[in-house]
Amino acid sequence: MDVSTKDQARTTVFAPRLAELLDRHRGDAVFRLDAGTVGVGDPAVIDRLLWARPMRESERPTFKPFRGKAITRGESSELMQAITRDVRGALRKPLETGIDLSGEWPKVGHCYLRKLMFGADPFRLQLLSRRRLEASHAVSRTVLGTAAALPGGSVSADSAVSDLARHTFGTLTEFDFRHRLHAMGLYRRMASPICNTVSTLVTNASWLAAPFPADTPNRHILLETLRLLPPSWNLLRFASPEYPDIDRRIGPTDDVLLLPLLTQRDPRFWDDPDAYRPRRWADVADPDTVAGYLPFGHASERCWGRHLVLPLAERLMDLMRAGGYRVSPEQTVGRVPLDGLLGVRVRVVRG
Ligand code: HEM
């Protein structure tokens, strides 16, 4: 895919498996991916599959059970309330001056968000939102285990820690390792997507658009970025008895992989689908109602964090605008690896 900006031409190169999906299956409603998985690229079929039954616990990206223990509705909504207060508090802070956002993204954006949101939290909690933990499940388990095993764990009422940290320590009444592990695991489940997904989104936006033109609103850039380079590029649902009745190509033991990556570039729904055109959002009152546009999931269970993600991303974009940041003119190719989160690696420079 080519991205031409005023600045220069940039080429986005997808990992072979993603490129194959786009080349071979764009416009396909239902197709076999492997022996046990069927891909779905048609918004009407996706709609029927997702309304057929509620999301199972094991399918939840954020609130799936933690080490076999279910996360209750009450627990999840308390955590979302805590992180919402933290994001609102962070957004009230004046835009920083004199910070350096140049370097390798998404790493730079991740570090900025971590400091902004959780910079005052106890060291053991700060460790849990480190980017390095994303790279290895084993390292993540070890760090989490160590954080939970350390004695102590309280915060004074007047300390500047995040509400998420206050909530985490507030649930620790006595030393019970499993309980502490659970509480700190949930801290990580909340803190990590804030840093990780938002920095990935802003990196993708930078790749498509930086330096951000003065006459293009951040929101339009983000909506178009979420269309072309959606960090959440697929939704997985495990085999279900309702599915074969919806489409006979889905067998009773088939999982289904629903693919916004395809619906959001389907020429039946988008003019010039591979072109980066933020203006296409200028007259759209509610992006949630646009057919095939599912960057935050489907109406049956839309992302709970999306109202936090967009303003945080916009803050980072405002900082990039204010500092005159752009993609390094030397980077003409952006590679998109096959990963849980779809994102480009970008070198950002000033001026
Ligand atoms: C760029 C940022 C993000 C994107 C693109 C995104 C995307 C999505 C998508 C596509 C779903 C639906 C998944 C499905 O139906 O299988 C979802 C659900 C959800 N998201 Fe997000 N998300 C983002 C950030 C966040 C953040 C920062 C949080 C919380 C701090 C969050 C919390 C949730 C929750 C709670 C759900 C409902 C399912 C569950 O309980 O796990 N998301 N998100």
| pLDDT, tens only, 224-233 | 999 999 999 9
Ligand 1 touching residue 278 (CB < 6 A)? no
1 within some domain: no
Check if the beta carbon of residue 261 is closer than 8 Å to that of residue 22.
yes
Give residue 308 CA to ligand 1 midpoint distance, Å: 11
Band the pLDDT of 246: cuts 50, 70, 90: very high
Q: Which atom of ligand 1 lies nearest, measured to the CA of 308?
A: 27
CA distance 142 to 184: 12
From the CB of 235, is ligand 1 less than 6 Å away?
Answer: yes
* Residue-number span of the structural domain to which 196 is assigned: 11-350
321 CA → ligand 1 middle, Å: 27
256 lines ligand 1 (CB under 6 A): no
Q: What is the mean pLDDT of the chain?
A: 93
Q: Where residue 40 sits, what CATH number does that domain have? A: 1.10.630.10
Domain count, the chain: 1
User: Does 6 reside within a domain?
Assistant: no
Banded pLDDT at 88 (limits 50, 70, 90)? very high
Domain annotation covers residue 192 = yes
CA angle centred on 327, ends 325 and 332, rounded to 5°? 165
At 151-190, the pLDDT tens digits run 776 776 667 899 999 999 887 766 688 888 999 999 999 9
Spatial contact of 346 and 103, defined as CB atoms under 8 Å apart:
no
Q: What is the whole-number distance in angstroms between the Cα of residue 10 and the centre of ligand 1?
A: 29
CA-CA-CA-CA torsion for 86, 111, 234, 24, nearest 10 degrees? 150
For residue 250, tell me if it sits in a domain.
yes
- Ligand 1 pocket residue status of 303, Cβ below 6 Å: yes
pLDDT of residue 153: 67
Distance 296 CA to ligand 1 centre (A): 6
Closest ligand 1 atom to residue 298 Cα is 15
pLDDT confidence tier of residue 218, bands split at 50, 70 and 90: very high
Contact 105, 204 (CB under 8 A): no
Cα–Cα dist 107/91, whole Å: 20
The ligand 1 atom nearest the CA atom of 83: 30
The string of pLDDT tens digits covering residues 253-310 is: 999 999 999 999 999 999 999 999 999 999 999 999 999 999 999 999 999 999 999 9
Distance 174 CA to ligand 1 centre (A): 32
Task: Confirm whether 5 is domain-assigned.
Answer: no
Residue 3 located in a structural domain: no
**Residue owning the nearest CA to atom 18 of ligand 1:** 303
Cβ of 60 less than 6 Å from ligand 1:
yes
Extract the runs of DSSP E, i.e. beta strands, from the chain: 2-4, 9-14, 30-34, 37-40, 103-105, 235-237, 255-258, 325-327, 333-336, 346-350
343 lines ligand 1 (CB under 6 A): no
Task: Kindly state whether residue 4 falls inside one of the protein's structural domains.
Answer: no
Q: Give the start-end residues of each E strand in 84-203.
A: 103-105
Specify the range with the lowest mean pLDDT, choosing from 69-73, 144-148, 209-213: 144-148
Ligand 1: centre distance to CA 312 (Å): 15
Give, rounded to a whole angstrom, the gap between the first and last alpha carbons of the chain.
26
**Residue with the two structure tokens 């930078």:** 206
Cα dist. 95→32, 186, 276, 305 in Å?
A: 48, 29, 28, 22
Q: What is the DSSP letter of 135?
A: H
The helix (run of H) or strand (run of E) holding residue 83 is helix 73-92
Q: Whole-structure pTM over 0.75, yes or no?
A: yes
Residue at 83 is within a domain: yes
